[in-house]
């Protein structure tokens, strides 16, 4: 639990719900550094967080820059670090951001407008083999090759609905998934490629662990198996190493921070939470504490 006087980090501010809860729980003296790549989110929260005064420090940066942010603040360690890797509702509901296959909009999918890579560029310039590799690896989509070929044949593709329709047509109707839209995995894969999501997570984890104070907690909510697998492997390592992130055996590094999982299996939303927030259905929470 956050405590008075503690220092905390929220790397995915979104609409500010988690950050607000941390600030309230750590009152009156706890401080929070929060970041988000979306300038609109930062602008909203700068106004909303005015009542917290100098207890809230907001940055338009990637969470992988946690070490830079702490250096800017003069913070040597953190009592708690939090990530919610799901898309914020405001971003998902904005058709112009291009994240949703159910809302017609441009092929964008960028978390930050400063990112030079867009979904339009990937969809319209990558060759079929590269597209298929992305969709297969990041989307875990078994019809990746068929989808990639259909995309290349149908260029130029300019809208989310056009891409969604192409994906649906490429997957045999009898093989459509029961619980998710047929385009879900392809959109996920392209979004991950646009924003280099997995690479940023792999960079973040060892930096975050090294910044935890003894007894400090690192908690991460993930929404698909690729992210969850990276977090699980990292938390399962005896000590923080880059090798474990690449699927290699953990390597003991003298002086590296040691972290301990708080629970062996990820926590999932309760039935009550699912009723209040259906978008949380695939959420998995993992947490670990620094013990040395």
> Pairing between strand 259-261 and 284-290?
antiparallel
pLDDT of residue 255: 61
Reference 112, options 67, 62, 153, 54; nearest CA is 62
CATH number, domain with residue 65:
3.40.50.150
Residue 231 maps to a domain: yes
Q: Which tens digit of pLDDT belongs to each residue from 198-219?
A: 999 999 999 999 999 999 999 9
pLDDT of residue 242: 42
Q: Is 52 exposed, middle or buried (0-12, 13-18, 19+ CB in 10 A)?
A: middle
pTM of the model: 0.91
Q: Looking at the 3D structure of the chain, how many domains does it have?
A: 2
Report DSSP state, residue 16. S
- Strand order of the β-sheet with 212-222 is 56-59, 31-35, 7-10, 78-84, 212-222, 284-290, 259-261
Distances (CA, A) of 195 to 38, 127, 177, 203, 286: 12, 19, 26, 14, 22
Q: Which of helix, strand or coil describes residue 150?
A: helix
| Same domain? 68 vs 149 | no
Residue 1 maps to a domain: no
Rounded CA-CA distance 89/96 in Å is 13
Last residue of a domain, one of 155, 171, 195: 195
Q: Which tens digit of pLDDT belongs to each residue from 128-170?
A: 999 999 999 999 999 999 999 999 999 999 999 999 999 999 9
CATH number, domain with residue 129:
1.10.150.170
pLDDT of residue 248: 43
Q: Which of helix, strand or coil describes residue 266?
A: coil
Q: Which tens digit of pLDDT belongs to each residue from 228-275?
A: 999 999 998 745 444 444 444 445 555 667 899 999 899 998 888 878
| Same domain? 203 vs 190 | no
Rounded CA-CA distance 261/288 in Å is 4
Cα 83 to its chain centre, rounded Å, is 7
Q: Is the peptide bond before 209 cis (omega within 30 degrees of 0)?
A: no
| Same domain? 104 vs 145 | yes
**Domain ranges, residue 11:** 7-90+197-290
Last residue of a domain, one of 195, 218, 243: 195
Other C-beta atoms lying within 10 Å of the C-beta of residue 137? 15
| Same domain? 233 vs 285 | yes
Residue 227 maps to a domain: yes
Distances (CA, A) of 123 to 53, 148, 166, 265: 44, 9, 12, 36
Residue 259 maps to a domain: yes
Range with the lowest mean pLDDT among 73-87, 119-133, 239-253? 239-253
| Same domain? 163 vs 279 | no
Residue entry with tokens 């992988």: 64
Q: Which tens digit of pLDDT belongs to each residue from 3-43?
A: 999 999 999 999 999 999 999 999 999 999 999 999 999 99
pLDDT of residue 275: 84
| Same domain? 105 vs 162 | yes
Last residue of a domain, one of 162, 195, 228: 195
């Amino acid at each position: 639990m956050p405590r008075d006087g503690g220092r905390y980090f929220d790397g995915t501010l979104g609409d500010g719900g988690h950050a607000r809860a941390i600030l309230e729980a750590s009152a009156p003296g706890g401080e929070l550094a929060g970041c988000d790549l979306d300038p609109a989110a930062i602008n909203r929260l700068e106004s909303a967080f005015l009542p917290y005064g100098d207890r809230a420090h907001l940055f338009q940066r990637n969470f992988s820059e946690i070490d830079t942010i702490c250096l800017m603040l003069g913070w040597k360690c953190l009592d708690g670090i939090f990530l919610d890797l799901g898309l914020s509702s405001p971003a998902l509901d904005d058709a112009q951001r291009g994240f949703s296959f159910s809302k017609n909009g441009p092929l964008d999918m960028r978390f930050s407008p400063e990112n030079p890579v867009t979904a339009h560029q990937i969809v319209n310039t990558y060759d079929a083999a590269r597209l298929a590799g992305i969709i297969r690896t990041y989307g875990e989509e078994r019809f990746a090759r068929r989808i990639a070929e259909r995309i290349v044949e149908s260029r130029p593709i300019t809208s989310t609905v056009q891409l969604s329709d192409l994906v649906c047509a490429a997957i045999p109707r009898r093989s459509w998934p029961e619980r998710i839209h047929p385009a879900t995995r392809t959109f996920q894969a392209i979004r991950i490629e646009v924003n280099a999501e997995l690479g940023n997570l792999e960079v973040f984890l060892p930096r975050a662990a090294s910044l935890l104070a003894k007894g400090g907690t690192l908690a991460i909510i993930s929404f698909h198996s690729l992210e969850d697998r990276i977090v699980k492997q990292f938390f399962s390592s005896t000590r923080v190493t880059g090798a474990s992130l690449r699927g290699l055996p953990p390597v003991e590094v003298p002086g590296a921070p040691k972290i301990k999982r708080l629970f062996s299996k990820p926590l999932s939303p309760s039935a009550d939470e699912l009723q209040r927030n259906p978008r949380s259905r695939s959420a998995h929470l993992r947490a670990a504490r620094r013990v040395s």
